[in-house]
Amino acid sequence: MDRDSEPGAGREPAAGDQPPPRRVGRGVFLATVAGGLSSLYWGQAAWSHLSRALGGVEAAVPLVPRGGWRIYTVAATMPTFAPATWRLRIGGLVHESQELSYDELRALPQTSQVSDFHCVTGWTVHGVHWRGVRFRDLLARARPRPEARALEFVSAEQPYVDYLTLDQAELPGVLLAWEMDGRPLAREHGAPVRVVIPEMYGYKNVKWVAEINLVSRAGTGYWERLGYDRDAWVGRSNGYGS
């Protein structure tokens, strides 16, 4: 811009001893944009260090979802849990199909673990306490047939579905969980039960599990149909770490 040609611009008094104005605004704009874009490379590491160093800083900031959770859903409404009538169905390639009530499920051998929860979109919740049942114990009474190789998790949130191979379901820390951080699983976290597999991204951790079917091979889950990896290893899938 040639300021002399614009009579309306910058009506500074004609004081000859004043230095010309500097374009600070442009600098602030460009520096902010550049800083923001560069954070695509350092943002996650910086935030991770900060939240670890300050310990629970999320809880102190207003608005931040408790513990850093974000709630992702695919249907119009979240499923509601009615303890009296709720049943978990176990079927498919099994010798004996099962229908477990909430109480029967919690009477199974329990285990607990603490792990970090990673979302494929980049956020992480550190040190989540989970309690639930390991799949070996859950499936014992149904007795999977020899040809069964994978588990199909059908969510009460239609049409969400996802799969784990039986080998993946036997990894350490893998649970069907009904308790999170010492409390019954909250509705937005998948009440009453969800899959927990710490080594994989959140979309494999199916919420509101209503039905588990033994199948001969892992199918294509909800997000996998939209291009996400079937084996969602944290840091080694979905374009990360490659």
The contact set with other proteins (CB under 8 A) reads 1, 3, 6-13, 18-19, 21-26, 28-30, 32-33, 36-37, 39-44, 47, 61, 63, 65-66, 69-78, 120-123, 187-188, 226-227, 238-240
* Shortest distance, position 40 Cβ to other proteins, whole Å: 5
Cα→Cα distances 10→4, 7, 13, Å:
10, 8, 9
* Shortest distance, position 137 Cβ to other proteins, whole Å: 30
Give me the helices (H) in 55-97, please. Answer: 57-60
* Shortest distance, position 227 Cβ to other proteins, whole Å: 6
Could you check whether the bond before residue 159 is cis, i.e. omega within 30 degrees of 0?
yes
Contact criterion met (CB below 8 Å) for 193 and 151:
no
Give the residue with the Cβ less far from other proteins, 21 or 56: 21
* Shortest distance, position 31 Cβ to other proteins, whole Å: 8
Give the residue with the Cβ less far from other proteins, 5 or 172: 5
Bridge-based pairing state of the strands 175-180 and 150-155: unpaired
Instruction: Report the C-alpha gap between 92 and 94 in whole angstroms.
Output: 6
Instruction: Report the C-alpha gap between 228 and 60 in whole angstroms.
Output: 34
Contact criterion met (CB below 8 Å) for 177 and 114:
no
3-state secondary structure of 100: strand
* Shortest distance, position 149 Cβ to other proteins, whole Å: 27
Give the residue with the Cβ less far from other proteins, 128 or 151: 128
Give the residue with the Cβ less far from other proteins, 98 or 237: 237
Give the residue with the Cβ less far from other proteins, 51 or 111: 51
